[in-house]
Chain A
């Protein structure tokens, strides 16, 4: 048990703080929603009603979609684009999907390789792209949820303001939808870009996200 916890510490840690942060978002979001309800002369709602509302759903999904888009773009961009000196980058002469030998597929696989890495055909193709495809699928699903939940939450506010509700197609073309989307995207892209560049010149001893402390600034694809 202790060994299992130790060997899975990273995922357990982030899983735990994710759940705590989501709980905190639910509690503070509920309090804020009820403040706005009272300010508009309307009734407060319970925590359960708030967690089941489109307001909570859109606030969660707009963040999730941008995180998965960030990872999707990062995973795919790092196949072909390089950054000299960054541990986030491949070696400058290794752009592209690389050889079967380097990727340990087919005849170059070993006994520990996953089953679909050993076979030919669609199974190898799917497994070879499974990470990007999964990130992309989750991004699309979360963005869809954001669009539907956002439309509902926006229309609830429209009605509170005695304005006409809008259709889903009107909503996804609206400033409200794109403002929510782009305010999340800009921060994700900034975070990745910052990490790519800052890790060229700065170090964090012991982290695999950093180069070794004594590595040269122009050392590319080196981790500590």
Chain B
């Protein structure tokens, strides 16, 4: 009689172990522990570099479209003019980056920046932000 053998090569992962690996991977994805934090921090740094280099158009292009339009509307001037008149201090180094879904929060030594995911990468929704207790941050660019 022919012996019946299992198909496949080598020992297979036990179902319980497989489920554990899948569960851990899912938890990491759900909790924002993803490499996108680096991209968000880079976007925030590039924005500050554009500001310190007086590259107002480049800085405006890094803003989310809604933020750019709102800034121009509220200040009754162009986005570039508004950024030119800002008094945002040097941000210092990044101390914390947190990414959750399509939102990111990048904290510098002297600034906080909020970002939203967009087709072209991370866009700034608010910058030059200072904490305000549990209330929303007070921001020089964008924000409430």
Contact = CB atoms under 8 A, between A and B. Distances in A.
Interface of A: 40-43, 45, 52-55, 57, 141, 145, 148-149, 151-153, 155-165, 168
Given A41-B65, A162-B114, A162-B144, A152 B139 contact: no
A41 B66 contact: yes
A145 B27 contact: yes
Contacts of B50: none
Contacts, number: 87
A152 B100 contact: yes
Interchain residue pairs A-B with the least CB separation, the first 7? A41-B66, A159-B103, A156-B101, A155-B100, A162-B136, A156-B100, A156-B103
A135 B1 CA distance: 45
B105 A159 contact: yes
Contact of A52 (B23, B29, B31, B64): B29
Interface of B: 23, 26-27, 29-32, 64-67, 70, 98, 100-105, 114-119, 125-126, 129, 131, 134-137, 139, 142-144
A153 B136 contact: no
Contacts of B134: 163
Question: Which residue among A152, A158, A160, A162 has the maximum number of chain B CB atoms within 10 Å of its CB?
Answer: A162
A165 B98 contact: yes
A40 B32 CA distance: 21
Contact of A152 (B65, B70, B101): B101
A43 B119 CA distance: 8
A106 B65 CA distance: 72
Contact of A160 (B23, B32, B70, B103): B103
Given A155-B32, A161-B136, A162-B144, A43 B117 contact: yes
Given A160-B116, A162-B114, A153 B101 contact: yes
28 contacts: A41-B65, A41-B66, A41-B70, A42-B118, A43-B102, A43-B119, A53-B101, A54-B32, A54-B100, A55-B101, A57-B30, A141-B23, A148-B27, A149-B30, A149-B31, A151-B31, A153-B100, A153-B101, A155-B103, A159-B103, A159-B104, A159-B114, A159-B115, A159-B116, A160-B116, A162-B125, A162-B144, A165-B98
B30 A164 contact: no
B72 to A, nearest CB: 14
Contacts of A153: 100-101
B64 A162 contact: no
A146 to B, nearest CB: 10
A164 B103 contact: no
A120 B23 CA distance: 34
A160 B31 CA distance: 17
Given A42-B118, A153-B101, 16 more contacts: A41-B66, A41-B67, A43-B102, A43-B116, A54-B101, A145-B26, A152-B31, A155-B103, A156-B102, A159-B100, A161-B144, A162-B136, A162-B144, A163-B135, A164-B105, A165-B100
B116 A42 contact: yes
Contact of B64 (A41, A45, A159, A164): A41
Q: Which of B70, B114, B126 has the largest count of A CB atoms less than 10 A from its CB?
A: B114
A165 B98 CA distance: 8
Nearest to A37: B102
Contacts of A42: 64, 66, 102, 116, 118
